[in-house]
Amino acid sequence: MLNEARQSTTEAHVLSALRDFIFPVFGESLIDLDAVRRIHIENGRVTIHLYLAAKVASLHGRLVLMIQNHLEGAGIHGVQVVIDSDASDEDFDFSVADARVRNILIVASGKGGVGKSSTAMNLALALRAEGASVGVLDADIYGPSMRTMLGVPESVKPVLVNEKYVEPIRKYGLATMSVGYLSPDKTPMIWRGPMAVKALQQLLEQTLWGDLDYLIVDMPPGTGDIHISLAQKLQRATALVVTTPQEVALIDARKGLEMFNKVGIPVLGIVENMATHVCSRCGFEEDIFGAHGAAKMAEDYGVAMLGSLPLDKKIREHLDSGIPSVARDPMSDISQCYAILAQRVAVAAWRAKITGMQMPHIEIA
């Protein structure tokens, strides 16, 4: 009896059972995400091969558990799940010289000082912790901050290769490049727009990034020359808009978001930074910069709210000391916030890719 039931399990059964299974972080079924590569059935034993185009290693265990539970509920027992999330050969957002980048994430905001760089850096490390290979480009030509935030000593300079390319500086497992690596700390870049644009283009294209799952571009504030050029250069990029909850920051964040709409770069969502402050003495929670502003904006523009990060002295302290929070203590509460953000960003980038691949169909009658 049991044997018969086993033998009657077919691929169609498994597929139809998977159709109404939604992994909460993914928000869509594995079928819609085109994640099911192969279903192998041998002697009644089902093996499902999944391909995830997002690096979320820390979720794999829970994903497998939930699939098994769900299929058991549908009467399919003893399912094996094999997850693969390695880059396939095709489909790079950006490839020049030696660089093959699967996803480009632009971290931007309209306003300065809302924590783009700290978010970008910790997000990069959190994606790294999810098993991705990650690069970070500091696109702020006038106020580079990467050297300080990663604690790269003044003596370390990028190595020139073949007179034309530079090796990125590797720290905490990230490949990083910044104009700050090329100039002494106290020398300002007194450049007009076109010079800055040219310099940034070189940093982007002449760095030997290698194979990357994610290249995070940490933008300067504003919507000027550099932003337009970079947006044109990186046509297949996706963007995150960082903001603090208060109205003055939101006004600028809206402009930042509108800019991406105008240049046709999909916005994955909004990251709310410095949301709540927990008093280190008494534990009192206070919304220093107000509350719900970013959520309202996300709703207005129909984009996702990817995460809400706390205002915590330690984030600032760790960056100033050259060891970002996620690198210093990957298990801390702050790091958990960044881990959740990284998972949502990775999934959002994946989903954007699926919708983005659908080119419009033209009919002339």
Partner 1 sequence: MSFYPPQKVRLKKDIGELEIIWQNGDIAKISCDELRRYCACSSCRSRKLIGVRLVTESAEIATVNLIGSTALQVVFADGHDRGIFPWPYVNAIATGRVQEFLNA
The H-or-E segment that residue 270 falls in is strand 267-272
- Please report how close the Cβ of residue 298 comes to partner 1 at its closest, in angstroms: 12
Q: Quick one: 17 or 231, whose CB is closer to partner 1?
A: 231
Are 25 and 66 spatial neighbours (Cβ–Cβ below 8 Å)?
A: no
Q: Quick one: 48 or 259, whose CB is closer to partner 1?
A: 259
- Please report how close the Cβ of residue 362 comes to partner 1 at its closest, in angstroms: 5
- Please report how close the Cβ of residue 302 comes to partner 1 at its closest, in angstroms: 7
- Please report how close the Cβ of residue 365 comes to partner 1 at its closest, in angstroms: 6
- Please report how close the Cβ of residue 161 comes to partner 1 at its closest, in angstroms: 32
Q: What is the per-residue DSSP string for 344-356?
A: HHHHHHHHHHHHH
Q: Quick one: 199 or 263, whose CB is closer to partner 1?
A: 263
Query: Using CA atoms, how far apart are residues 38 and 43, in angstroms rounded to an integer?
Result: 16
Q: Quick one: 190 or 364, whose CB is closer to partner 1?
A: 364
What ranges make up the beta strands (E) of 26-164? 36-42, 45-51, 80-84, 94-96, 99-108, 134-138, 160-161
Q: Quick one: 266 or 307, whose CB is closer to partner 1?
A: 266
- Please report how close the Cβ of residue 78 comes to partner 1 at its closest, in angstroms: 36
- Residues whose CB falls within 8 Å of the CB of residue 126, separated by 6 or more in sequence, listed in order: 326, 335, 338, 339, 341, 342
Are 250 and 169 spatial neighbours (Cβ–Cβ below 8 Å)?
A: no
Q: Quick one: 16 or 235, whose CB is closer to partner 1?
A: 235
- CA 272 vs. chain centroid, Å, equals 15
Residue 160: other Cβ atoms inside 10 A: 11
Q: Which residues bind partner 1 (CB under 8 A)?
A: 235, 258, 261-264, 266-267, 302-304, 348, 351-352, 355-356, 358-365
Are 86 and 213 spatial neighbours (Cβ–Cβ below 8 Å)?
A: no
Q: Quick one: 263 or 323, whose CB is closer to partner 1?
A: 263
Tokens 């994606």, located at residue: 127
- Please report how close the Cβ of residue 153 comes to partner 1 at its closest, in angstroms: 42
* 105 Rama class: left (phi>0) / alpha (psi -120 to 50) / beta: beta
